Structure 1
Amino acid sequence: MFDPKSVYFKPRAIPLSVLEEVDLDVDEMEAVRLCDFKNLDQDEAAKRMKISQSTLQRTLTSARKKIAEALTEGKAIRIKKEK
């Protein structure tokens, strides 16, 4: 499973005291990494994650929505690592 080096991204010039956050699960980050960064098709990405293609599609849709929310609303992104 993907182990991100950084787990927190915040917009510049917004104090932590007023900053809202969006939580991104590590599996959502992995889906984005494989499909959007590594340019794998969904079938190959799903195989690598050991999930079905339909599960990958739902995970990817959720992740992209959260990332879009953070970028357009000026929110931080916190990647929640598995414990």
Structure 2
Amino acid sequence: MNGQPFGHGFRRGRGRCRVERFCEPGFRYRCFAPVCRNGGPPAGMVSLRPDEVEVLRLVDLQGLTQEEAALALGVSRKTVWRDLHEARRKVADALVHGRIIEIAGCEDIMRDTCGIPATELDEDE
């Protein structure tokens, strides 16, 4: 990721800069971990960007079409499709393989109040 934050005009790698999304205000970032671990640590971590969570919320929870979600976020329908596809892939990977789901920019991790021990968070990095 080149050590640069995503969104807000920063590049996340090759290609164009990400367009800033208009996400729902008051979204509380969280981490989710499997409760049943079969005696072992989690199998790694999957990181979702806040805009991926927002597109999941709009399309899968609120039932908006991709076109309606694109209007709400201020991006193209193709961008919504790409973010939705990537977010669903990451969630499926976490569910099938027992990985922790971390929302990028999680306030609890930054304040060290996350319920997931720091040793588990550092394993994947």
- TM-score w.r.t. length of structure 2: 0.59
| Larger relative strand fraction | 1
Is the 8 Å Cα contact of residues 29 and 105 (structure 2) preserved in structure 1?
no
Q: Which has the higher helix share?
A: 1
The question of 1:31 aligning with 2:58 is answered: no
Q: Which runs of 4+ in 1 moved over 3 A?
A: none
Highest relative contact order (Cα 8 Å, sep 6+), 1 or 2?
1
Selected match of 1:4 from 20, 23, 27: 27
Alignment correspondent of 2:122: none
RMSD: 2.0
Length-normalised TM-score, structure 1: 0.87
1:60 paired to 2:79: no
Instruction: Please state how far the C-alpha of 1:4 moved relative to its aligned partner.
Output: 2.9
Q: Which blocks of at least 5 consecutive residues in structure 2 are unaligned?
A: 1-22, 107-125
Mind listing any 5+ residue stretches in structure 1 that lack a counterpart? none
Q: Larger radius of gyration, structure 1 or 2? A: 2
